[in-house]
Amino acid sequence: MIDTSAATSRAEKVKIITDKLEQGIQNLLDSDRYKEYLSKMSKLHNYSFNNTVLILMQRPDATMVAGMNSWRENFHRSIIKGSSSITVLAPAPYKHTVEKPDVDADGNYRYDSDGNVIMKKAVVEVPSFKPVWVFDVADTQGEPIPTLGVDELKGSVKNYDRLLEAVISASPVPVEFDKITSGAKGYYSDIDKKIVISEGMSELQVLKTCCHEVSHSLLHTAERLKSTGEMSDKRTFEVEAESIAFTVCSYLGLPTDEYSFGYIAGWAGERELSAVKESLEVIRKTSSDIITAIERHLSPERSLNIGESQTQTKHKARSA
């Protein structure tokens, strides 16, 4: 458990926790285990903001996406028969011959003897895109996917029902529980404006996942991203959401270190710790907003001892 007893305000506690987050991820990034992981996972394509939106519109529970050839050649996995593809756009520029004015070294037009601008042919590249089809890891089978950390948090949580209600109160959209066939632990659908949490998980995993998806619902909506002009990719979305989930859970006394550090490091990829540092202001502010909503929901019922350890956990090794 992270010691925040020296802090006198929520902001100080959140800073102590996010400082611990940075250090924990850095320790993992410096390990041989991470280097082995990255050598494999770096072969995954980093999709643009627009393609990220397309992916999440078609498959909000997608966790890892690649083309059929990439799954086969880089991960030795095949597409399960009957699986639905996800359409994204790939650059397909083409060359076109045009006529344009001839200019001298200073950029001035050249003229012929009759005073007409001399035109010359030039080949220009015209930006264009074509649809390509990719698949989520849930639609593949074969060799195990390299992973970091643990697969699932285990453990019961003291005052679980009240804490879950409080976390859900911070969500701007409804939260429901259902069976998620893709294997994802939860997802936020910006199309349906709802959060879905997988049934059958431990109390600790449910709370952590709920915090993660609430973060998505607050930060990563098409409306908000359009209004703020942010053009982030799915990696940044996941790093922010899991960093916030770790911060909120740590504030509540729920240990998720091993799970969250591996999750964030796995998504950060070659950007490494900079992915967290670049988003720290967003992480700290959104964490504080969620914590405020939780405390408001629990008040005046303060018997939950926020900030004290709520659970004892055990982990299992991550598997495909």
Residue-level pLDDT at 291: 94
Q: How far is CA 58 from CA 64, 85, 192, 220, in A?
A: 14, 9, 11, 16
Dihedral over Cα of 189, 195, 198, 201: its sign: positive
Rounded Cα–Cα distance for residues 102 and 120 (Å):
6
How would you write the chain as a 3-class SS string?
Answer: CCCCCCCCCHHHHHHHHHHHHHHHHHHHHCCHHHHHHHHHHCCCCCCCHHHHHHHHHHCCCCCCEEEHHHHHHHHCEEECCCCCCEEEEEECCEEEEEEEECECCCCCECECCCCCECEEEEEEEECCEEEEEEEEHHHEEECCCCCCCEEEEECCECCHHHHHHHHHHCCCCCEEEECCCCCCCEEEECCCCEEEEECCCCHHHHHHHHHHHHHHHHHCCHHHHHHHCCCCCHHHHHHHHHHHHHHHHHHCCCCCHHHHHHHHHHHHHHHCCHHHHCCHHHHHHHHHHHHHHHHHHHCCCCCCCCCCCCECCEEEECCC
CB 149 within 8 A of CB 169: no
Q: What angle do CA 10, 273, 155 make, to 5 degrees?
A: 60
Q: Determine the pLDDT at residue 135.
A: 95
pTM for the full model? 0.66
Asked if 53 and 65 count as a contact pair (C-beta separation under 8 A), the reply is no
C-alpha pair distances (Å), 138 with each of 13, 65, 85, 132: 38, 9, 11, 19
pLDDT score at 303: 47
Residues of 217-227 as b/e, b for ≥16 C-beta within 10 angstroms?
bbbbbeeebee
Give the residues across from 94 on adjacent strands: 126
Q: Residue 13: which residues within 8 A CB-CB, separation 6 or more?
A: 4, 7, 251, 307
Which pLDDT belongs to residue 266? 73
The pLDDT value recorded for residue 42 is 59
Ranges of each domain in the chain: 10-43+145-317, 93-126
| Spatial separation of the C-alpha atoms in residues 89 and 45, rounded to whole Å | 13
Per-residue pLDDT of the chain (320 residues; tens, 9 = 90+): 677 777 778 888 888 888 878 777 777 777 776 666 656 665 667 777 788 878 888 988 887 899 999 999 988 999 999 999 999 998 888 887 888 888 888 888 888 888 888 888 888 888 888 899 999 999 999 998 877 667 788 999 999 999 999 999 999 999 999 999 888 899 999 999 999 999 999 999 999 999 999 999 999 888 887 777 766 677 788 888 998 999 999 999 998 887 888 888 777 654 556 667 777 888 889 999 999 999 999 886 554 555 555 555 444 333 33
Angle in degrees, CA 149, 59, 281, rounded to 5: 55
Identity of the residue numbered 76? H
Is the separation of the CB atoms in 2 and 17 below 8 Å?
A: yes
Does residue 313 contact residue 255 with C-beta atoms inside 8 Å? yes
Picking from 201, 295, 215, the residue whose alpha carbon sits closest to that of residue 247 is 215
d(CA 105, CA 103): 7
pLDDT of residue 319: 33
